[in-house]
Structure formats: C-alpha cells, structure tokens
Structure 1
Amino acid sequence: MAQKKKSKTAKNKKPKKALKKSGSAKAQSQKYVYDFGKKTDGDATQRSLLGGKGANLADMTSIGLPVPPGFTITTTTCADYTRTNRLPAGLMDEVKRNVAFLEKEQGKTFGCSVNPLLVSVRSGAAVSMPGMMDTVLNLGLNDTAVQGLSTATGNSRFAWDAYRRLINMFGNVVMGVPHENFEHAFDKIKKKYRVKDDTAVPAEGLEELCAAYKAVYRKSVGKAFPQDPMKQLQHSIEAVFSSWNKDTAISYRRINEIKGLEGTAVNVQAMVYGNMGDDSGTGVAFTRNPSTGKNEFYGEFLINAQGEDVVAGIRTPEPIKLMGKWNAKVYKQLLAVRSKLEKHYRDMQDIEFTIERGKLYMLQTRNGKRTGAAAVKLAVDMVKERLINKDTAMMRIPANDLTQLLLPSFNPAQKKKVKVLCSGLPASPGAACGALAFSADEAVERAAKGESVILVRKETSPEDVDGMHSAAGILTSTGGMTSHAAVVARGWGKCCVAGAGDLHIDASKGVATVNGKKLGRKDQISIDGATGEVML
C-alpha cells in the first residue's frame, strides 16, 4: 500500500516533493527476489541479474529437471549492500514472503518443531568463481526444530548431523569462528566413542557434539547460537553479500581478470539431504573430461554426505563410474540429465547433484572449467556433433588457453630413474618440481623470492587462492578430481595431484610424512598431474 501511495504522490502536482521521494519509491518498488519452482521468474539469459547459478537453476527448472525449489536475490541487491553496508529496506519482507511460498510448496514450516523446512544459502556471480564465496547449509534448525526433523525423518542421527553442520558453518562463515575450534571439539567426541570417521559417530555422540559446538560458538562469539531461523537466514544473506569483497574473492577476480560485475546473487533453496543414510549421497561431475576433453562422464560421488564434503575435499570420494553399482536406477537418470544438459547448453557442464533416499535432485549446472587441451578437443568434437558451429568453436578457445598446450611433462626415460613416494589422483595435468610449502602465505612469500615451491595441504580452501596461484604445483592428501583444488588448478593450467592418501601433513611443524619418510621445507619433490605420481 505504501508503494502505491508514493507512486500517486510522484504523479501528482508537487514536483519538488515528488522528486525528493522518487528515489525512495524506486528503491521500494525494485524487485529483489526471483522464484524458481512451480512458479519460475528467471531464465538463463539473466546471468548479470541472477548470477550464473540462479539463472541456471531457473533454467533447469523450466526444462523439467528435478531442482529443489527456491529463490534468488539479485546481484543489484548485493551492489546496494556493498554501497550502504546494510540490506535494502523491504528486502527481508520479500524474503519472508518467498519463504512462505516455499513452505506451501514443500508442505513444511521454517523453524517448525514438527516438520521443519530447512534451506541452503549460496552465492552465485555472473562469472563462475568456484568456492570463492560463502555457503551455509541446513538453515532453520534450532534446539526444537532438530527434534522435529528427527521425528519427521525417523532418523535421529541424520538430524543431529545436520544441526552440527549448521552450527559449524554458520559459526565459521557468518561469525568468523575458526574451523579448527570446531574440529577440536569433534576430535574429542570421536576419541570418546573410539571411532576415526565422522560417519561412525552415533546419534548420541552427535547430540553431544551439538552441545559442544554451541559452547565453542558462545565462547568465540560472546553470545548464544541464534535460535530464530529468520535471523539465521538474514545474517547468512549478509555474509554471502559480504563475501563478494573477501580477500579471496578479490584475488580470484584479479588473477582471472574478472571485471565489471555488480556483485554476487544469493540463492536460497529448499534443502535436500545426501546424508540421510546409505541410500543417499551427493556428487560433482563434468559431462566430459575437463582435463582431456574426452567424451566420457567424469566426476565423483560420496554416499551419506553433503555436497560441501566433495567440493571442499574433506573426504576422498568414489569415481562416478562406480555409481551404477551403488544405485543403477539413479545413475541411469543422471546419465539422461547429462545428455539433456549438454544438448541444452551446447557446452561441457559442471554439475552438482544430491540423492535423497534414492531420489535424484540437481543443485547446479555451469560451463565447466577446462584445460587448454580439453578446450581444443571439446570445440572440435562439438562441431563434429553439430552442437556448435565453427565460429562458436573458435570463440571457445581463448589465446591464453592455447599456451596450456605447451604444459611441461617429464621425460619418460628420466622418470624411470626416480623414486615414486606415493600416488594420488591426476587432478590437473602438467609437471612440477619444487620445495614443500605448507601454507598459502609461505608459498606466496617464497615464490616472490624466485623459489619454485609445491603447495602441500590436507585440502585447499578459497583462502589458499594466492598461494595456489604462486606455487609451481599443488598436492593434497584428501579430496578428489572435482575438489576445490582440482577445479581451480585446471582452470589455470596448473599441475595438481589430489587425494594422495599416504601423505600425512603436519602444517604446524612443516613436516609431511610419506610411508615413514619425513619431508620438510628444504626437501624437493616432483608431481605429475597426468599420472598422479609424487616423486622424490
């Protein structure tokens, strides 16, 4: 009603007053939120407004793929937030209305103690920036909703696992609590229950862990973990907008020469759960091989896990080709989605998916990062397949990608003479030699002095982006071919070996141990991104 009143005032005969109020009226009448679901507002042409993720979620919904419903807050809203350091007036009213629509569509209630609706909050700029901005999952859980989720699903372990993940992610992403603080608490619980793997902790252990996490949160933040789900959502939206100007995001845009964007969109989506048991899972895949361009389904999945476990490299996943043995029906559906997306977008796609109790859901699609060699093969093959014409093919191969065709490789005869310490996954091709660097800052500092270093990490995170770019190569002990390290390295043509499970890293001491042999900062290693071998 207030908007209509101001519009009338602007039209009537008080020019000075109308002029003064017009900015306010425009701000209040601006559309901040676009739906995708039973009612879909956007499409793939609106990347600059909805970001790549939001535009493609709307697009996938429109072509009939199984996408959990949700809504996208525009990139222009992020620009407003960046200018004023606060959410624009009226935004949260729109958000609340759209949450209500989501509740109706899902038959659940946000924060309810009986059958709660949970949502994810994810970033999504017009140009893909993998892992560089923030994500929060399982929003809407609190001390009462966790009981409702347990009752509604009949799975108390899953409910407490979802809650501990929320407290951890919200604490780390939104409030800046170091992830290690939560890890120490988790280690104590695992020790108490005499288990090594996260998935082996029983329901009662996870309930204890939630209490421990809330204590960590209170000690670090100075107040209790928020129980109001709408406050959780508002703070998470603010955190994602703020992450547009995090050092990591700024560095990534500088390194990749990404300019002229207003900010990131925010995607709020109904949660689907890959961690509900052994009939659930999550994965990341490419419709073709992003290292070579070969027409083969390439990716990984984890059973009983959430998507961040794959992308962040926390656990080392299984190859996608083994998925058919786990669930042949879902794998067949995923192959059909692969074919449909390639024909629709006429390019190799990087997809994220979740299986909840045997049902497939698509969470993302985007044009996949690829090596220079893959870019050439993809372009040539897609012309032959009549997916694209020759002019489009030429546009798909930027000049700097062609330089990647000259990536270094080891002399096979010389390689036979060296000792292979261990092997990991060939995440990004090329060859690299250098001394071990155990942190991103160390890699930057030593590389600036002209030293060739290999960045050695358990897993990489967005905070490592400058170190990853400075290093000659990247080696991780966990994570897979679709982890953060692998995806970013391939986009740069940087040699990377991921998931070298025999490698044990103590970054605080600057020591890596491989099959009983200790290596320090002065030790030189070689990594082969084509084979996954780590050599001394």
Structure 2
Amino acid sequence: MSEMPMTQLIDHEPVIYPFDHPHEVPARHLKNLLGGKGAGLAEMTTALGMAVPPGFTIPLTVSNAYRAHGWPAALDARLDEQMDRLGTRMGRRFGDARDPLLVAVRSGAPVSMPGMLDTVLNLGLNDETVHGLVAASGDPVFAWDSYRRFTQMFATTVLGVPGEALPECADPTDVEALRAQVDAVRAVVRRVTGEDIPAAPADQLRRAIVAVFESWDSARARAYRAKEGIDERMGTAVNVQAMVFGNRGERSGTGVVFTRNPSTGEAAPFGDYLPRAQGEDVVAGTAHTLPIDRLRDIAPVAYENLLVALRRLEVHYRDMCDVEFTIEDGRLWLLQTRVGKRGATAAVRIAAELVDDPAVRLEPQVAIERVPAELRDKARQEVVAHARRLTPRDDLLTVGLGASPGRASGRMVLNSEDAADADDDVILVRPTTSPEDVAGMAASVGILTTTGGLVSHAAVVARGWHLPAVVGAKEIAIDGAHVRVGSRTLHAGAVITIDGSTGEVWEGAHADDEGGADAEELVRAHLPELERLDSWARAAGR
C-alpha cells in the first residue's frame, strides 16, 4: 500500500494521535501524517503488541501549521488532554513533586534523517520533581544524573547554548558532583541567554516541541536534505513518550541494533549496547560501546526477548529493520523501528535472502526495485575492492572498525568547514561526527573517526550515503593541525587511504591490487547473490 498523501494544511482544531489510536489503515503506511518514528511506534503498539512506552504523536499537519502561522491556539489544550491521559496510564502525573511523569520529546520526519532533528529527554524535571524522582526510585544517583542530562540537553537543544560552553560531565556516580553540575549548567545558561531553564514542566514541553519543529529548518537539516534530495516542504512530526531509563542502575542500558549486518548483509543482529546510559550516548559516538551480543551475558532474558522482537519486526516489515531499545532494570522496551540504511553489498545480499526466507518470501520484482542497477554496480565495486586487499606494508597506520564498505584515498581534513570548501578528494578525520558535520561529510569521499561504534552518527550516515568509513580508530590522536599515530605524525593535508570493510587506515594513496582473479570471478565467489539479482533484472527488462 502506498503512503497517505502529505497534507500541508491543518483544520482549526489540531489533532494529536496516541500510539494506540485506531487508524483506518495500518500505521506503517502513515509516515506522511505521523512521520517515520511515529508510524513505527504506532505499528509496534497496535499491530504487534510490543513493549513500547506509551505516548502520542503531534502530526506533520501541526508542524507545518506552526511553520506557516506559528503555534496553533488550540494546541495547548490538546497537549494537556494527552498528558493527562498519559499520566493516568502511567500512574503518575506530569509535574508531580512526589512521583513525576517524565517524557521524551523526539522528532520524526517521514524519511530517515539520522541525528539531523532534535530530541529532549527526561523532560519534566526541576528542583522539586527531582526530589520526587529520588523518593520514587530510591536512587539519588539515577535521579540527579537524569536531571543533569535534562539540563544539558535543554540548554543546547532548546536554548541554543553551544555545547563547548557547558562544563565537562561530572562523575555519574557522585550525587554531589551531579548536583553541582546542574547548578553550573544553569549558570552558563543564564550567562549566555539571560534566562533560566523553565521550571514549569508545561513550559518545558511547549518549548521542546517548538525546538523540534524548528530543527527542520536548521542548517544541518537543510544540508542533509540537499544531499538526499528530500522535499523541503515535508516537515517533521513530534513524538512525546513516557521515559524509560537506561541509566537506572547496572541492570539498565540502551542500544541500537539492526536485524542484519548493514555493511555485509549477514543474517545476524548487528549493533551496540551501552550499560547505564541513555539513547543519545550510543549514537553520539563518544562512548565505548559493547557489541550487541555482549547483552547475552549482561541481561540474558532481555537479550532473548530482543531477538524475538527483531525477527518479528523483520518479517512484519519484510526488510532489515533498525531498532532503538532501552533496558530498564532488566526489562526490554522498544523505542523506535524503521527500515534500516545499508551499504550496497548488504542491500544485494539482504534482498536476495529475503526472497528465499520462507516467512517473508519477498517478490523478485520488489528485490530489484530495492537494489537498482546503480546500487548493484556499487556493490560490485565494493566486493572487488575488498577481495583485492592491500598487502601489508609499513605505511599501514592503524586498524579501526570498518563501518561502511569501500576504499577511498584523499587529502586529510580535520574539520567540516575545510571539507565543505574542498574541490578535490578529501577524507574527513574527526574524533566523532555530529549533525553539525553533515555538510563536510557530504563533500568527503570517506570518513574516519577516532571514537564511536558501528551505530554512531558517522557510521549510520556514511552507510546511508555509501561512503567508506572507519570509526573507533582509537590509536589516532588529533592534535591541532596534526594527526599522531604512535611515533608517526601526519599534517593536515596529507593523503591517506581508508578501507571501510577491514577498518585499515594507510598513509598515502593506494589503488587496488590488480593481481589475481578478474572482477567477475571475484563477484561470483564473494557475492553470488548479485548474479541472481542481475538475472531477475534482465528478465524484467531492467
């Protein structure tokens, strides 16, 4: 079924949709109303009955009305109704100083724009409700860590305070240090903006929603849409969801996982998990995450439940899915699902294997629509480059994590501005990337980061754009205009080569080793699924 048409106008009374709203068509077909995230949350809630924290979606119609005419007059009343309903369902009240309801406010455009739009977590905390959270949870460290996270995120996301202006993160196990950091963040906010973070949860909610609406028109979002060819008029929905807490003790954590490997297509879960953390910690690329299979030892019941959920989602969507989850005190919660971005090689393998999967039985016609000729050609190039690996030489600098397949050589640049200004092949080298780097990433032929895991911002964006990427190259240190690797020092502008399959980083430009088998032999040996897709395409005249 095709997507519902996008509506650019709004009735006089804005409509808000709880995740369990009984739509007339399956929620997964309502991305142009609910946005991709909202459609996924509603689908998991209504069609699959999965463990999704309840909440509601402010649809694109409201977002576009705000962008055209400002805040709709009736929206406050609709929000109050939905927050009351959510509080009743959760057994706690928004703003209650004894046992407060806290919410996450997340964006949700109809198409995936990883990290480009805004999010605020732990909303509803203030100097009174934090004590209620202490009392209700019995864990002051968890409560003050949540408050610290909220103040930092609200300051940067909603109030526009530069992240570098905020104090460094306190010891997350020291209550007094966390309390001091909350005070320090608020002092910076007052100095930079002339105001404080609002204490009233209703004011926090309204301003966070506005920030998400307005993030659609941010410079980083515009740059991403220009690269992807996304319609500027589309806008974003907003999802307000009851918080579940991955930072609530050692039996809690958060992760991002794909139902299959998005680089190779291997039919096994692929992703990262971070104990005692919240979702933004994983995708930010600043933390040392754990491979998803480590969850088997940390929380075996949650891990088994996750495997069941991943299989159900893949069969339901008939495609590889990208899933965000949180484990709170051993219990699994699903926070998002969408069809996942993948490299060209993975796209070929996944499409062919889903044709053979007895629970999916993807039609060959659909498979070749998902992997058109230009993507099949890209996969062929990736396979040949990977098979013709460079022989070991003294100019191998280091080995990180291969995050997005392919090999690229280019002049090393250390900031996004230089990458965006370049008129030659450049490789962007950063400690990590953020949405603010998107223009530089779009202008680069490859990405190299010194921190982060396989579902970090750099990895996800690079795979979606089929850019070679290596992440987590921790032996590399960026020092001003230099890059140091052990005893070696390279200056900005030096040429390097990265291999996004093996994670290898080389000094100098390196072409493929042309020896050995020819290209077609390599493809047949390493990606036989490509020949099947080519044959289906020929039969269909494509």
Task: Provide Cα deviations, 1:474-497, integer angstroms capped at 9, x if missing partner.
Answer: 111111111111011011110101
Q: Name the structure 1 match of 2:51.
A: 66
Once the two structures are superposed, the pairs formed by residues 482-521 of structure 1 within 5 Å of their partners are 482-506=455-479, 509-521=480-492
Task: Provide Cα deviations, 1:68-124, integer angstroms capped at 9, x if missing partner.
Answer: 00000011111111112x211111211111000010000111122111111111111
Question: TM (normalized to structure 2)?
Answer: 0.88
- Structure 1 counterpart of 2:18, from 29, 35, 45: 35
Q: Name the structure 2 match of 1:186.
A: 168
Alpha-carbon deviation of 1:413?
Answer: 7.0
Code of the aligned partner of 1:325: D
Once the two structures are superposed, the pairs formed by residues 50-449 of structure 1 within 5 Å of their partners are 50-62=34-46, 63-84=48-69, 86-182=70-166, 185-186=167-168, 189=170, 198-199=171-172, 201-259=173-231, 261-386=233-358, 387=360, 388-405=362-379, 406-407=381-382, 409=385, 414-446=390-422, 448=423
Q: Tell me how far apart the structure 2 counterparts of residues 26 and 415 of structure 1 sit (CA, whole Å).
A: 61
Task: Provide Cα deviations, 1:457-516, integer angstroms capped at 9, x if missing partner.
Answer: 11111111111111121111111111111011011110101111222224xx22222224
Q: Name the structure 2 match of 1:13.
A: none
List gaps (5 residues or longer) in structure 2. Answer: 1-8, 508-542
- Alpha carbons of 1:175 and 1:521: their partners in 2 closer, same or farther (altered >3 Å)? same
SS in 2 for 1:225: coil
SS in 2 for 1:378: helix
- Alpha carbons of 1:270 and 1:411: their partners in 2 closer, same or farther (altered >3 Å)? closer
SS in 1 for 2:68: helix
Alpha-carbon deviation of 1:518?
Answer: 2.8
SS in 1 for 2:11: helix
Contact persistence 1:371–1:404 (CA under 8 A) = no
Code of the aligned partner of 2:212: V
Q: Tell me how far apart the structure 2 counterparts of residues 298 and 335 of structure 1 sit (CA, whole Å).
A: 11
- Alpha carbons of 1:347 and 1:414: their partners in 2 closer, same or farther (altered >3 Å)? closer
- Alpha carbons of 1:47 and 1:335: their partners in 2 closer, same or farther (altered >3 Å)? same
- Alpha carbons of 1:463 and 1:269: their partners in 2 closer, same or farther (altered >3 Å)? same
Alpha-carbon deviation of 1:401?
Answer: 1.9
Is 1:467 matched up with 2:440?
Answer: yes
Q: Tell me how far apart the structure 2 counterparts of residues 26 and 532 of structure 1 sit (CA, whole Å).
A: 49
Alpha-carbon deviation of 1:394?
Answer: 1.6
CA RMSD, Structure 1 to Structure 2 (Å): 1.8
Alpha-carbon deviation of 1:411?
Answer: 8.2
Code of the aligned partner of 1:427: A
Question: TM (normalized to structure 1)?
Answer: 0.89
- Alpha carbons of 1:237 and 1:206: their partners in 2 closer, same or farther (altered >3 Å)? same
Contact persistence 2:263–2:342 (CA under 8 A) = yes
Contact persistence 2:14–2:72 (CA under 8 A) = no
Choose 111-120 or 389-398, whichever is displaced more: 389-398
Choose 516-525 or 388-397, whichever is displaced more: 516-525
Task: Provide Cα deviations, 1:404-434, integer angstroms capped at 9, x if missing partner.
Answer: 2224737857531243322211100111222
Choose 478-487 or 522-531, whichever is displaced more: 522-531
- Alpha carbons of 1:468 and 1:260: their partners in 2 closer, same or farther (altered >3 Å)? closer
SS in 1 for 2:385: coil
Code of the aligned partner of 1:454: I
Is 1:454 matched up with 2:427?
Answer: yes
Q: Tell me how far apart the structure 1 counterparts of residues 241 and 376 of structure 2 sit (CA, whole Å).
A: 38
Contact persistence 2:14–2:62 (CA under 8 A) = no
Higher helix share: 1
Alpha-carbon deviation of 1:136?
Answer: 0.7
Task: Provide Cα deviations, 1:228-256, integer angstroms capped at 9, x if missing partner.
Answer: 11111101101101011111111111111
Code of the aligned partner of 2:113: M
Code of the aligned partner of 2:499: D
Identity between Structure 1 and Structure 2 (%):
46
Code of the aligned partner of 2:126: N
Alpha-carbon deviation of 1:176?
Answer: 0.9
Choose 128-137 or 428-437, whichever is displaced more: 428-437
Code of the aligned partner of 1:308: E
**How many residues are aligned here?**
492
Q: Tell me how far apart the structure 2 counterparts of residues 160 and 366 of structure 1 sit (CA, whole Å).
A: 32
- Alpha carbons of 1:319 and 1:40: their partners in 2 closer, same or farther (altered >3 Å)? farther
Task: Provide Cα deviations, 1:372-416, integer angstroms capped at 9, x if missing partner.
Answer: 111111111111114111121121113442242224737857531
Q: Name the structure 2 match of 1:526.
A: 497
